[in-house]
Amino acid sequence: MSETHALEEGSAFAPQFDDSGLIACITRASGDGEVLMLAYMNAEALRLTLETGVAHYWSRSRNSLWRKGDTSGQIQTVREIRTDCDQDALLLTVEAGGDGGACHTGRRSCFYRKVIAGDEGVGLVFD
Closest among 96, 87, 14 to 55, alpha carbons compared: 96
Closest among 35, 40, 38 to 59, alpha carbons compared: 40
Member of 21, 38, 43, 100 binding a copy of itself (CB under 8 A): 38
Contacts (CB under 8 A) with a copy of itself, residues 43-62: 50-51, 61
Closest among 53, 34, 35, 32 to 89, alpha carbons compared: 35
Contacts (CB under 8 A) with a copy of itself, residues 90-119: 90-91, 103-105, 107, 110-115, 117
Q: Is residue 6 involved in binding a copy of itself (CB under 8 A)?
A: no
CA distance 107 to 36: 9
* φ, ψ (nearest 5 deg) of residue 54: -120, 135
Closest among 56, 19, 16, 62 to 40, alpha carbons compared: 56
Member of 42, 72, 77, 83 binding a copy of itself (CB under 8 A): 83
Member of 75, 81, 97, 108 binding a copy of itself (CB under 8 A): 81
Member of 48, 65, 84, 108 binding a copy of itself (CB under 8 A): 84
Where on the chain is the footprint of a copy of itself (CB under 8 A)? 8-13, 24, 26, 28, 33-35, 37-38, 50-51, 61, 80-86, 89-91, 103-105, 107, 110-115, 117, 122-126
